[in-house]
A and B are shown apart, each in its own frame.
Chain A
Amino acid sequence: MSVGTIWVLAEATDGTVASITLEMLAKARELSDNVECVFGGDGALVATELGAHGASAVHATGDLAGKLPGPAIAGAIAAAISGGAAPVAILCGTTYGGRDVAGRLSVKLDASVITNIVDLTNDGGLVGTEPVFGGSQLVNTRFTSDKPGIFLVRPKSFEAAETGGGAATVAALAIPDLGPSGAARVTNSFVEQSEGPKLDEAAVVVSGGRGLGESEKFELIESLAAKLGAAPGASRAIVDAGWVPYSYQVGQTGKVVKPDVYIAAGISGATQHLVGMKGSKTIIAINKDSEAPIFGVADLGIIGDVHKVLPQLLEALNARG
C-alpha cells in the first residue's frame, strides 16, 4: 500500500542531477504513488531528468543568489509545510548539502532525523534501516509522531531507475526571511580537477591506510589507481593524519563506495572503514597483520608488506603495458 506523498531533496551540479537523488527517487517510487522533489535552484534545469525518474513535481526555490543552500532550503520546506503541504517523509542524501538541510529542518519542525539509512520499508508507516558496528547489525527505526519523517539516506543504497515519466511540473518554493541564520554567503566555487573517475562512481577503487607508514607512500596508491583506471581512496586514519583530504575518505564518516573491485592496501579494516566499502562486489586486501579484520571481508587476502607487494604489483602491471 502506498504511503502518502514523499518529498526527495534534489541536488544537482550544472544541471546534472546527483546520483543519490535518482537513487532516492527509485526507492520513494516503490513506497509512494506520489513522489515530488524540492530543489534549491532553477527547477527548469532539472525537471526533465527528475520526471524521467518518477518525480511528478519539483518545488524549486529559483537561483539561491549566493545563499548557502542548507538554511535556505530548510526554511523554504518548513514554510511550505506550515502553509499546508503535508509530505509523510522528506528524504535527504547523506551529502554535504543534504545533512545541512536535514539538521536545520529538524529544528524547524521539532522532529528528529533518522540517519544513515540504507533501506526504507513500509510497515504500517515508514521504517528506516541503519547499519551499526561496521554493518554487522542492522537497526530498524520508525517515527512515533505524525510530523513529516526526515530521513538521511546513504548513497549507493538503491539503484536509480527511469520510469519513462514526462518532465516534472515546476512549482515555486518561496524562501522566507531567514534572519541571522541565513547570513552565510558563498563568494566563490572551486572545482578541484581530479584525474580519473570519481571515488563514489569508480568501477575500481584503490585505498590506502596507516600501513603505508608515511604520507609520501600514498603515491603507491595513486600510481596503482592510475594504472587500473581506478579512483584513489583512504581510510579515516590517514585523513585524520592529514596525508590526504577529507574528500578521499571511505567509511562511515566518509564516502560509501560499491565498486566492482576494491583494493585495500595497509588498511586494517576498522568498523568505521568496513561500513563504507563492504558492499563492493570483490575485495582484495593487502595487510601484514594476519588478524586484521579486513581479511574477514576479503575475497583475496594477501598477508604481506604493502611496501613490497605494491611495487611488485605495479611493475608487473607496467610490464603488461
Chain B
Amino acid sequence: MKVAVCVKQIPDPADPGALDPSTNTLKRDVKLILDESDSYGVEMALQLVDAAGGGEVTLISMAPNNEVNGLRTALAMGADKAILVSDDALAGSDALGTSKVLAAAIARSEPDLVLAATESSDGYTGTVPEQIAELMGLPSVTFAKSIEVADGAVKVQRQTEEGYDDVECPLPCLVSVTAGVVEPRYPSFKGIMAAKSKPVDEVSIADLGIDAGSVGWAGGGQEIVSVIDAPVRDAGEIIEDEGEAYERIVAFLDELKVI
C-alpha cells in the first residue's frame, strides 16, 4: 500500500515567533522542525504499510528555502522518501493556495491513502486536509482517532462533539488524524543515518504545473486590514506555597461561590 503523509516544517513552538511587520505574515527566517502534530500521521502510515505487508510511505511538504530538517526527522522514523515543494512564488500562500500545491505534489506519488494532521501547530487554520481532498476529488474522513484498512476501504473512528462515529470510506481517500491516535516512535540511530541518503524530490510549482498567480500573495483573495494588540489582563495575586496555599484556594472558591 502506498501512503502519502502531509508534513509541515515549522518554527520551534517553544519560540513563539512574530509577525513580519512589512507583510503581516509569520516570520520564516528560523530553522524549521517537524510539526509534532504530523508525527502521528507518519507513525500511522508506517504501521498501516506494515500491516498491509509492504508498500511505501512518501512525505509531502511545502517549505521555503528547500528546508529539509523536519523531513529528515520523519525519514529517520522510517518514511521512504519525500517530495518537497519550495518556490519563492509560494511566499504568502493561504490555506487554499497551500492545498493546491500539496494536492499536486501528492498526485505525483499516486497514493492509495493520504494522511494529514487535523491542523498545523503554527497556522492552525484546520482546513487544509478537506481542501486537498476536494481538489483531488477524493472522499475523506477527518478527525480520526483510529484507522484500520481492509478490503480496499478504511474504517475510521471519527471524533464528534458527543463521542465518535464509525465511518467507512473506500480507497483512495484522505484521512486526518488527531494527536494521540498512535504513539510516534523515536528515530533510532540507524534510522537517522539511513535518513541522510533517502531521496528528497525537490520540485518547483512549474514542475507541478501550477500558475504562480493562483498561489502566494496574488492567489490569496484576502487582505490584512490591521494588526492590533489585544487588551491585557490585570495582574493577579501570586503566592508561594508554604504548605497552606490550598487554604487560600478554598477561600477564593468560597468568595466566588463555587463551594
Please report A residues at the B interface, Cβ cutoff 8 Å.
13, 18, 68, 70-71, 74, 94-96, 99-100, 102-104, 106-108, 110-116, 123, 127, 131-145, 147, 152, 179-192, 204, 228, 236, 239-242, 245-247, 249, 252-253, 260-261, 270-272, 278, 282-284, 286, 290, 295-305, 308-309, 312-313, 316-317, 320
Contacts and interface: CB of A to CB of B under 8 A. Distances in A.
A271 B14 CA distance: 9
B142 A96 contact: yes
Given A103-B129, A152-B127, A302 B248 contact: yes
Contact of A309 (B96, B230, B246): B246
Interface residues of B, number: 84
Interface in B221-259: 221-230, 233, 235-241, 243, 245-250, 252-253, 256, 258-259
Interface stretch (B44-52, B63-71, B118-126, B185-193): B118-126
Nearest to A192: B163
Contacts of B258: 204, 228, 260-261
Given A104-B134, A134-B16, A183-B170, A242 B180 contact: yes
Contacts of A271: 16
A242 to B, nearest CB: 4
Given A137-B228, A137-B230, A303 B137 contact: no
Contact of A186 (B129, B134, B165): B165
Contact of A181 (B125, B129, B134): B134
B160 A96 contact: yes
A18 B160 CA distance: 13
Contacts of B223: 141-142, 144
Contact of A187 (B166, B179, B180, B243): B166
Closest 9 CB pairs of A and B: A304-B241, A103-B130, A192-B163, A107-B134, A184-B169, A312-B246, A299-B236, A103-B127, A183-B139
Contacts of A96: 142-143, 158-161
Contacts, number: 273
Nearest to B154: A184
Contacts of A187: 166-168
Contacts of B236: 283, 295, 298-301
Contacts of B143: 96, 246
Contacts of A241: 180
Contacts of B133: 103-104, 181
A112 B221 CA distance: 6
Interface in B105-151: 118-119, 121, 124-131, 133-135, 137-143, 145
B124 A301 contact: no
Contacts of B225: 123, 127, 140-142
Given A302-B245, A313-B249, A113 B121 contact: no
Nearest to A313: B246
Nearest to B227: A139
Contacts of B97: 112
Contact of B99 (A107, A144, A278): A107
Given A139-B227, A246-B179, A300-B237, A100 B169 contact: no
Contacts of A143: 221-222
B220 interface: yes
Given A104-B130, A116-B125, A308-B241, A138 B167 contact: no
